[in-house]
A and B are shown apart, each in its own frame.
Chain A
Amino acid sequence: AQSVSQHNHHVILSEAASLELGCNYSYGGTVNLFWYVQYPGQHLQLLLKYFSGDPLVKGIKGFEAEFIKSKFSFNLRKPSVQWSDTAEYFCAVTRSGAGSYQLTFGKGTKLSVIP
């Protein structure tokens, strides 16, 4: 079974600082990768996803992520965070192939942006 590790439990940044949240997965086969965001009191929303092609994926609100297959990583980045980015971020993975639609989530990284 696949698993997902998110390295940071809580990250605190000042506005305009750069962000990188780590995500590593354990599965030897082909995977599809996602980052979801949960703003305070809200449900999860898709930030970006990767399933094939260019390993640098751009998502909403200026976020991007890079899939590095050799490192089993899918780190999330943003060059300059805003207070409104305060949220919890979840990395998730599914295996490619028929019937592989179940998402396995990491434990989440809480981001606090200080004005």
Chain B
Amino acid sequence: GAGVSQTPSNKVTEKGKYVELRCDPISGHTALYWYRQSLGQGPEFLIYFQGTGAADDSGLPNDRFFAVRPEGSVSTLKIQRTERGDSAVYLCASSLPDLAGGYNEQFFGPGTRLTVL
């Protein structure tokens, strides 16, 4: 596939459980982003990877949230001890890097809808 893919498309879990959300970016895109979008809101920045390292994780709401990208391609967003307030659509996006600190178009995946009961 040519686009960003995310799995699962839907995830229902119980409060207190651990979840993992997966993002497969466009091949060759070294920049990867995670966002969270609540109903009626715009996407909220969580974390940005350049290659394997998290270049900016200032958007992660607390230490229950963690993301990895061990080989610089697929990324996993991990949420521990889920709370009902974590329910949202989690979006992943990827882009080509702009080493001068500029902006390249971000291509978004379809998102994972997380519901915490």
Question: Is the pairing of A and B real?
Answer: no
Where the two chains meet, the residues of B that have a C-beta atom closer than 8 Å to any C-beta of A are none
